[in-house]
A and B are shown apart, each in its own frame.
Chain A
Amino acid sequence: MGVDMIDAAIQGLEGILQWKAFGLMIVGILISSTLVAMPGIGSKTAIALLLPFAFVLDKYEAIALIVSVWAVSNTANSITAILFSVPGGGGSQATIMDGYPMAKNGEAARALAASFTSSALGGVIGAIVLLAAIPILRPLVLLLGPPEFFMLVMMGVVMVGALSGKAPLKGIAVGVFGLAISLIGIQGQSGEPRYTFEYIYLFDGIGLVPLTIGLFAIPELIALAARKGTISDVALGDIGAGRRQGIKDAFIHWWLVVRSSIVGVWVGIIPGLGSSVADWFAYGHALQTCKGARETFGKGDVRGVIAVDAATNAKEGGALIPTLAFGIPGSSTLALIFAGLLIVGITPGREILTTQLDVTFSIIWLLIISSILTSLLCLAFVKQMAQATTLRPSILVPMVLAMAVLGSFANSNRLEDVAVMIIFGLIGLVLRATGWPRPPLLLGLVLGPLAERFMWTSYQIYEFGFLLRPGVLIIFGLLVLSLAYPMIQKRYMAKRQAGAL
């Protein structure tokens, strides 16, 4: 790091630590961990509403307010996912997988603490990766194109098997059902509507948020109301100890945190993959690589929570890479932040990496400081949050149901979204009762259109030659390795056990 870079780093830090900028960062964090944490209100809406304030702020103040809302929105999103099986946003779906079973086991405090801590660590790692990438930002972004993206999506498809538990065939069947649902809507390449029956709501396909809420939250709510017990099957015990254990868990599994964060950063760099994929990729990665995960994941394994929340927060650092390198926003939320930067006279692109490097550093510092502060804030309220799992169903069910309906409705402000929630609530109920896995349905729905889009674009550029590009072959190698790894691991363990005997 040259002297210029150190100067810029100090200047960026000083800019953020000015009392007004720091205060605005706290405002951003508070908005993000309360309003944005509710299902249905995304950071995008919050930033769109805050943008006009940028006109009266200086550059550090505007960055502090706008970037902090976005940077930490994932941290608090896990609260409702862990406590009620209602995802707080697109990136917290996989948190449900082990977070909610932990809450049912009376470990809500531990799950929340592990989630917040790994989220802070993920945020910091994402920022460090961004920092390390500054000299190579530009070639890095140009390295991967549609063919490589297609192969990365295929890596996600392979995870369907892993997410299916002991019933891979059922998993594949449910995944294909998800894929079939994803075909509804306007086809991107031809512009032709598919299975829309001239019904305008279906033109954009089935909404992911109402579908997820239906699939995961509604069956749990019905089960909760039916058995008349609380969410937590057991007494909560010492919440303070649970919180301490959760924080410790994130540090004990530091290597998993680092790996998942890197998965998150990569997903962030790829335009169009988005937050609804990062969590599943990280969950799948943990499931494939953690010892004994196939037996314990889905039943309340803290590693499932840690991996997901580290990745979702680290993703933001990655998403900033194309934005800063070329002035090309990596997502629609970043396009809004970009607009905010323009208002205060900063043009992302070469300028921000040379003459305005202090701005880049102030963003990196903000990612680090706001991640840590948000996690501390959330950790302070773990006790109150965890107690929600001991509430009577007569109080809890109507409250969570209202949250679920509002969250679904906010998808496109149409009643059809609530209908989607109800329909998939029933489907989820049947799947849950008959022991069919639900996550592959989501994966099919999310990955189907991405695979189709990247495959067609790749074919249009290179025809089938795209399959032989070096990047594609390398990712294919990794894919085979990730498929074979559990088998190799099993064989190695068996050999070792045999040796020990």
Chain B
Amino acid sequence: MRFLTALLALGVAFATPAQAAFPEKNIDFVIPYGPGGGFDTLTRKMIPYMEEYFAKQGSKISVVPVNMPGASGNKAAAYTSRSKPDGYTIQIFNIPGHGLGYITDNNAGYDITEMTWINQVGVDTYVVITSGAGELKSIDNIMNLGRDIKVPEQGPGSTSNMANKIVWTTLGKGAEYIFGYKSSQEYATAVLRGDGDLTMVVVGSAKRYNKAGDYNIVAHFDAKVDPEFTNAVNGAALGKPELDEVNLLRMVAGPPGMSPEVTNTLHAALKYAVEHPELQKWAADTQNGVVSSESPEAAQKRLMRALTLYKQFADIFK
């Protein structure tokens, strides 16, 4: 009997922490790239508001940004997917970048669809830019060019390269990619220098380039073209509305198998952060597209919609 009581006491002792409210300790927020990029900046901006949210709920914990660059973000994703699904390790993901393994049926060391999706926190749409000094001032000019277009790019598998491939394949324009530029800044300069004809950048960068006046902005793939791009068209105007779904999603997930309670708590904290007026103002000032999904299920649905779209083009990514 005494033994049984002891066993029961031991069971209670072990069970108690599990029943305590999440979170009880610091949360690691993994950033799959080095400090300074878009993913890093957004994550670091969200963290103080997440901490504020948890403090309001009675948990005075810290959310610790952990930069884990490497292997195009796959190093971090493999790490997160193998972490304990207790909610203390979460990560910001790049979609479609992190989905390339799934899209092309290649093993990237983790299964993107198995992760526990918590929230969508941002979206960046794509814009086609050409050199202001050149002759390609509209999509028509590009389509009527008597040869394949030359597109300076970072490398195969980069998110903008995937977007470029989908757009030009769908529009039926032959494209030759010039790889080897380190960043979007480098391949944007390459277009000015005449290394190639055009390239694609995210909307925030395009707005800055538009202001500087060195580029023509010929297309903006979004349901609604940004009013600053007066000469740009979108996919719908080109008769290909599916192109307006080609974008860069910033999403947050944890390891596979996280409990619904923990997932919902994290979702609420992220939603609070994304919708905070100060963060919204920052996003507007710095031209970052931030948006929160309604629920973890909505985030999961958004992810699958994007992956299904990209999967249709799996052959051109292989």
**With A327-B208, A351-B211 as contacts: A271 and B71 at CB distance below 8 Å:** no
Interface string of A338-380 (1 = CB under 8 A from B): 0100110101111100000000000000000000000000000
In A55-90, which residues have CB < 8 Å from any B CB? 55
B residues near A399, Cβ cutoff 8 Å: none
Contact B178 A326, beta carbon cutoff 8 Å: no
Minimum Cβ distance to chain B for residue A153 (Å): 13
Contact A457 B180, beta carbon cutoff 8 Å: yes
B residues near A142, Cβ cutoff 8 Å: 189, 192-193
Instruction: For A347, give its contact among B44, B188, B211 (CB under 8 Å).
Output: B211
For the complex, is B75 an interface residue (Cβ under 8 Å from A)? yes
A residues near B260, Cβ cutoff 8 Å: none
Contact B109 A200, beta carbon cutoff 8 Å: yes
B residues near A328, Cβ cutoff 8 Å: 185-186, 188-189
Contact A191 B157, beta carbon cutoff 8 Å: yes
**With A44-B34, A327-B212, A349-B214 as contacts: A457 and B72 at CB distance below 8 Å:** no
Instruction: For A186, give its contact among B71, B195, B214, B285 (CB under 8 Å).
Output: B71
Minimum Cβ distance to chain B for residue A45 (Å): 6
For the complex, is B213 an interface residue (Cβ under 8 Å from A)? yes
Instruction: For B208, give its contact among A47, A48, A204, A347 (CB under 8 Å).
Output: A347
Contact A332 B74, beta carbon cutoff 8 Å: no
For the complex, is B289 an interface residue (Cβ under 8 Å from A)? no
A residues near B185, Cβ cutoff 8 Å: 271, 328-329, 335
A residues near B44, Cβ cutoff 8 Å: 48, 52
For the complex, is B102 an interface residue (Cβ under 8 Å from A)? no
Contact B192 A326, beta carbon cutoff 8 Å: yes
- B211 and chain A: residue at smallest CB distance: A347
Instruction: For B180, give its contact among A189, A203, A412 (CB under 8 Å).
Output: A189
For the complex, is A190 an interface residue (Cβ under 8 Å from B)? yes
For the complex, is B56 an interface residue (Cβ under 8 Å from A)? no
For the complex, is A251 an interface residue (Cβ under 8 Å from B)? no
For the complex, is A436 an interface residue (Cβ under 8 Å from B)? no
Which of A332, A336, A454 has the most B CB atoms < 10 Å from its CB?
A: A332
In B206-221, which residues have CB < 8 Å from any A CB? 208-209, 211-214
Instruction: For A200, give its contact among B78, B182, B211, B285 (CB under 8 Å).
Output: B78
Distance between Cα atoms of A189 and B176 in the complex (Å): 13
Distance between Cα atoms of A55 and B281 in the complex (Å): 11
For the complex, is B36 an interface residue (Cβ under 8 Å from A)? yes
Distance between Cα atoms of A52 and B72 in the complex (Å): 26
Which of A51, A52, A328 has the most B CB atoms < 10 Å from its CB?
A: A328
For the complex, is A145 an interface residue (Cβ under 8 Å from B)? yes
**With A44-B36, A349-B211 as contacts: A343 and B285 at CB distance below 8 Å:** yes
For the complex, is A489 an interface residue (Cβ under 8 Å from B)? no
Contact A45 B35, beta carbon cutoff 8 Å: yes
B residues near A349, Cβ cutoff 8 Å: 208-209, 211-214
For the complex, is B113 an interface residue (Cβ under 8 Å from A)? no
In B264-298, which residues have CB < 8 Å from any A CB? 282, 285-286
**With A271-B185, A343-B286, A412-B69 as contacts: A327 and B209 at CB distance below 8 Å:** yes
For the complex, is B302 an interface residue (Cβ under 8 Å from A)? no
Contact B180 A146, beta carbon cutoff 8 Å: yes
Which of B36, B189, B190, B285 has the most A CB atoms < 10 Å from its CB?
A: B36
Contact B71 A203, beta carbon cutoff 8 Å: yes
**With A186-B72, A349-B211 as contacts: A453 and B186 at CB distance below 8 Å:** no
For the complex, is A437 an interface residue (Cβ under 8 Å from B)? no
A residues near B285, Cβ cutoff 8 Å: 342-343, 345
Minimum Cβ distance to chain A for residue B236 (Å): 30
B residues near A52, Cβ cutoff 8 Å: 44-45
Contact A457 B41, beta carbon cutoff 8 Å: no
For the complex, is A292 an interface residue (Cβ under 8 Å from B)? no
Interface string of B23-52 (1 = CB under 8 A from A): 000000000001111001100110000000
Contact A339 B157, beta carbon cutoff 8 Å: no
**With A146-B195, A349-B214 as contacts: A200 and B189 at CB distance below 8 Å:** no
- A205 and chain B: residue at smallest CB distance: B70
**With A200-B70, A204-B70 as contacts: A48 and B35 at CB distance below 8 Å:** yes
Distance between Cα atoms of A339 and B44 in the complex (Å): 13
A residues near B22, Cβ cutoff 8 Å: none
Task: Give chain B's interface residue range (CB within 8 Å of chain A).
Answer: 35 or more
B residues near A335, Cβ cutoff 8 Å: 36-37, 183, 185
For the complex, is B61 an interface residue (Cβ under 8 Å from A)? no
Interface string of A186-227 (1 = CB under 8 A from B): 101111000000001101100000000000000000000000
Distance between Cα atoms of A51 and B36 in the complex (Å): 10
- B282 and chain A: residue at smallest CB distance: A55
B residues near A453, Cβ cutoff 8 Å: 180
B residues near A141, Cβ cutoff 8 Å: 189
Contact B212 A350, beta carbon cutoff 8 Å: yes
A residues near B37, Cβ cutoff 8 Å: 332, 335
For the complex, is A135 an interface residue (Cβ under 8 Å from B)? no
Distance between Cα atoms of A456 and B14 in the complex (Å): 60
Contact A461 B35, beta carbon cutoff 8 Å: no
In A29-59, which residues have CB < 8 Å from any B CB? 44-45, 47-48, 51-52, 55
Instruction: For A326, give its contact among B35, B74, B195, B214 (CB under 8 Å).
Output: B214
Minimum Cβ distance to chain A for residue B290 (Å): 15
In A311-331, which residues have CB < 8 Å from any B CB? 322, 326-329
Interface string of A438-462 (1 = CB under 8 A from B): 0000000000000001101100110
Interface string of B136-158 (1 = CB under 8 A from A): 00000000000000100001110
Distance between Cα atoms of A501 and B40 in the complex (Å): 69
Contact B212 A189, beta carbon cutoff 8 Å: no
Distance between Cα atoms of A271 and B154 in the complex (Å): 14
Contact B155 A326, beta carbon cutoff 8 Å: no
- B281 and chain A: residue at smallest CB distance: A55
For the complex, is B68 an interface residue (Cβ under 8 Å from A)? yes
For the complex, is B313 an interface residue (Cβ under 8 Å from A)? no
Contact B155 A188, beta carbon cutoff 8 Å: yes
Q: List, sorted by A's number, 26 A–B pairs whose CB atoms are closer than 8 Å.
A: A44-B34, A48-B35, A48-B36, A142-B192, A145-B193, A188-B155, A189-B155, A189-B156, A200-B74, A200-B78, A204-B70, A271-B186, A272-B182, A272-B186, A327-B212, A328-B186, A335-B185, A339-B36, A339-B41, A342-B286, A343-B286, A457-B178, A457-B179, A457-B180, A460-B178, A460-B179
Interface residues of A (CB under 8 A from B): 44-45, 47-48, 51-52, 55, 141-142, 145-146, 186, 188-191, 200-201, 203-204, 271-272, 322, 326-329, 332-333, 335-336, 339, 342-343, 345, 347-351, 412-413, 453-454, 456-457, 460-461
By Cβ-Cβ distance, the 7 closest A-B pairs, closest first, are A349-B212, A203-B71, A457-B180, A48-B35, A191-B156, A336-B36, A328-B185
